[in-house]
Amino acid sequence: MGVPTSDIPTGRLRHSGRLRRRHLPYLESGRWRALLVAGVGLGLVGCGPFESEVGAVFRSTGGAATAGEEPAASGGTGVTAPTPLPSDSEQLGFDLSGSPFYTRVQRLTNQQWLRAVTDILRLADAPDLGSDLIPPPEGVTEFSNNERLLEVDTVAADAFELAAESAALLATSSPAALAALSSSTESEVFVRELGRRAFRRPLTEVEEARYLQLFDRGENVYGPDFANGAALVIRAMLQSPSFLYRTELGPAGEPLSGYEVASKLSFWLLGTTPSDALLDAAGAGELDDADALESTAREMLAQPAAAEVMRDFHGQLFHLSSYRKLAKTGVSGWTPAAPAELEEASYRFFDALFTRGSGVEEIFSSRRGFVGPAAAPFYGLDDAPAELEERDLGPARLGYFMQVPFLSLTGLNDEPSTIRRGGQLMSALCNTLGPPSGTFALPPVEPDQTNRERWTALTGTCGGTCHTNYLNPLGFAFEGFDGLGTARESDNGHPVDASGRYPLSDGIVEFADARALMKILARHPQTHACYAKKLASYALQRDIVDADRDLLDALTPVSLDGSFKELILALVTSPSFRVREKDLP
């Protein structure tokens, strides 16, 4: 990990596997680790704006694991019925429970840490720099950047320490790398410039003085070389809570500071630390105005990094990593290359919607999709492309849920799975199920029995309302497709029946098949409110709850009439994003 010691000139600060604490007075007695682990607001070198502002705000919170994707029968008591919730605009047909604790010091995610370090140190490439960081647990929250997952225990602290050491070695490994760090070889300029980038604000006088002392200590201990002082400063800054945590320290009801807004905006939209230009704008007060903030956010959304962030959001939202576990046994036409192709086709679909300026409606109504050689036969295409390419799939397939990737992922070998398909659609409507009552083996089809009849018989006694009103109707809408996503008109000698009825927030809707259902969902407020809820959860890094109804009321009509980008801009300029909402606990 990092630069081999053989590449470092004699006398340089070497990779020890641990920070040499005896040379760093601020790390004495392990106090730095207590601060880092607890999330207390004191920086490792100097206190800055943290001092006496924040107590230990990270705490353990419970969270139910999401239900698995394997067929399971629900006990019928855990369904969240779409009871309309009164509001000033549209009614929401889903539950808004959760356990946010509105932290004021948000730890960077592993990916944000990696991108921030790469940008702060101006590294050309550092793909393995964060390989030792501890991944968040799976299945606790919908998104891996949720505040409840970003605690730091002693194991994580060790990982951040090692990663900081590796980063320092990379950044000081050559004259060219050192030259990229600062506009000057003067220690004062170096500390001031690096500190501003790392802490996303100017250093205080106390901080600057202490980091200069640390720079001198590096040269005194390891030799009179600029790289030695710089490396020690880098290692310390990258372990400081001032770098590792993003803050919102203003009084409840007051706007965030310009630097806090810059950090919040940049880490959400670009996945990395604010640029020098954005920090300049923050210092000049240019982000205090909602119109100026919207203009800045709009410019960010045109950058490739924004598309990468949205790729991560849609990947987690629609569980696209599940394709890596997709397997079909004894299915004609299925190849080992199919899962990777279907996963990338799904990502590219959502990427294209975002970059073209589309919105939520297109998730359910677009006729375009990405097709590769493995999936082309399942679409019935004779002219299979040599690699993934975007095509018009025709009027019979509307949106992501009628494309081969989704239908194949939610099939059992070559047969459709009512529970898998229905459960995915319920999630897109923010109707949730409780834990399943158990798993089961799907019985074989009886003579003259359709798939719909088999699932109806199987779930009729185990799930009651859960299956009859929620899971089954949505799953049955896709009876026109087998487990590979190939269209079919008959099932076991009988015409396919894909009709159904489903209770949405404003009443029961009826549909003839998946195409009719997609048309309904594409323009229904519940669909757009659900997407807005999940986007807000990802952006604000917390659970969205009943207290956020006003936010969803404001975002839903924007989603109905606008693009993903317009929805993001509406969230950026909302009080939920710009104002500190809660008092300290």
Annotate 207-252 with DSSP letters as a single string.
HHHHHHHHHHHHHHHH-S-HHHHHHHHHHHHTTSHHHHEEE--SPT
Give residue 164's domain range: 5-61+104-253
Return the H-helix or E-strand segment holding 107.
strand 105-107
Q: Which helix (H) or strand (E) holds 116?
A: helix 110-120
CA angle 367, 516, 401 (to 5 degrees): 50
Say if 163 falls within a structural domain.
Answer: yes
Alpha helices in 121-240 (DSSP H): 154-171, 175-181, 187-199, 205-222, 226-237
SS3 at position 1: coil
220 lies in the same domain as 325 = no
Domain-ending residue, one of 187, 218, 253: 253
The DSSP result for 507-528, as a single string, is EEEEESSHHHHHHHHHT-HHHH
Last residue of a domain, one of 253, 272, 293: 253
Is residue 461 domain-resident?
no
Beta bridge partners of 107: 245
Q: How far apart are CA 500 and CA 474, in angstroms?
A: 7
Burial class of residue 446 (count of CB atoms within 10 Å of its CB; 0-12, 13-18, 19+): exposed
How far, in Å, CA of 222 to CA of 233, rounded? 13
Distance CA 11, CA 167 (A): 18
Please state the length of the chain.
Answer: 585
* Nearest-angstrom CA–CA distance, 555 and 572: 11
Evaluated on CA atoms 131, 134, 138, 144, the torsion sign reads negative
Give a yes or no: residue 138 inside a domain: yes
Are residue 152 and residue 241 in the same domain, yes or no? Answer: yes
Task: Mark whether 197 and 317 lie in a shared domain.
Answer: no
Answer yes or no: do 42 and 162 share one domain: yes
Q: Exposed, middle or buried by CB within 10 Å (0-12, 13-18, 19+), for 128?
A: exposed
What is the distance between the alpha carbons of residues 427 and 363, in angstroms, rounded to a whole number?
Answer: 14
Judged by DSSP in three states, 370 sits in strand
Same structural domain, 248 and 365: no
Residue 424 lies in a domain: no
* Domain co-membership, 29 together with 166: yes
Q: What does the alpha-carbon distance between residue 228 and residue 216 come to, in Å, rounded to a whole number?
A: 9
Question: Of 366, 389, 409, which closes a domain?
Answer: 409
Does 152 share its domain with 217?
yes
Q: Are 31 and 239 in contact (CB under 8 A)?
A: no
Same domain, 228 and 337: no
Task: Give me Rg for the CA atoms of the chain.
Answer: 27
Residue 231 contacts residue 16 (beta carbons within 8 Å): no
In the block, residue with structure tokens 């203009």 = 295
Q: Which residue has the tokens 């047909």?
A: 93
Residues with Cβ within 8 Å of 367's Cβ and at least 6 positions away in sequence, in order, are 392, 393, 394, 395, 397, 398
Residues 251, 42, 111, 399, Cα dihedral to 10°: -20
Asked if residue 216 is part of any domain, the answer here is yes
Cα 98 off chain centre by:
18
Residues 248 and 361 reside in one and the same domain: no
CB 507: neighbour CB atoms within 10 A? 9
Distance in angstroms (rounded) separating the CA atoms of residues 571 and 268: 11
Check if the beta carbon of residue 559 is closer than 8 Å to that of residue 528: yes
Q: Beta strand 105-107 with 490-491: parallel, antiparallel or unpaired?
A: unpaired
**Amino acid type, 494:** H
Q: What is the pLDDT of residue 66?
A: 28
Overall domain count for the chain: 2
Give a yes or no: residue 511 inside a domain: no
Same domain flag for 37 and 161: yes
Full pLDDT tens readout for the chain, 585 residues: 332 222 222 233 333 333 333 333 333 334 445 445 544 332 333 323 322 222 222 222 222 222 233 344 333 333 333 333 333 333 335 778 888 989 999 999 999 999 999 999 999 877 688 888 999 988 889 999 999 999 899 999 999 999 999 999 999 999 999 999 998 889 999 999 999 999 999 999 999 999 999 999 998 888 889 999 999 999 999 999 999 999 999 888 899 999 999 999 999 999 999 999 999 999 999 999 999 999 999 999 999 999 999 999 999 999 999 999 999 999 999 999 999 999 999 999 999 999 999 999 999 999 999 999 999 999 999 999 999 999 999 999 999 999 999 999 999 999 999 999 999 999 999 987 766 666 667 788 898 999 999 998 888 765 567 788 889 999 999 999 999 999 999 999 999 999 999 999 889 999 999 999 999 999 999 999 999 999 999 999 999 999 999 999 999 999 999 999 999 999 999 999 999 987 655
At residue 122, the 3 state secondary structure works out as coil
Q: What are phi and psi of 271, to 5 degrees?
A: 75, 20
Q: Does 581 fall in a domain?
A: no
Residue 462 is predicted with a pLDDT of 58
> Are both 224 and 120 inside the same structural domain?
yes
CB atoms within 10 A of CB 131: 13
The token duo for 97 is 């429970």
Which among 388, 447, 457 has a CA at the least distance from the CA of 418?
Answer: 457
Q: What is the DSSP letter of 573?
A: T
Other CB atoms within a 10 A radius of the CB of residue 15 amount to: 18
Same domain, 325 and 229: no
Q: Are 523 and 361 in contact (CB under 8 A)?
A: yes
Q: Of 504, 581, 574, 585, whose CA–CA distance to 536 is shortest? A: 574
Q: Does some domain include residue 267?
A: no
Per the CB < 8 A criterion, the answer to whether 237 and 160 are in contact is: no
What whole-number distance in Å separates Cα of residue 259 and Cα of residue 239? 20
User: Left, alpha or beta for 11 (phi > 0: left; psi -120 to 50: alpha)?
Assistant: left
Distance CA 294, CA 237 (A): 31
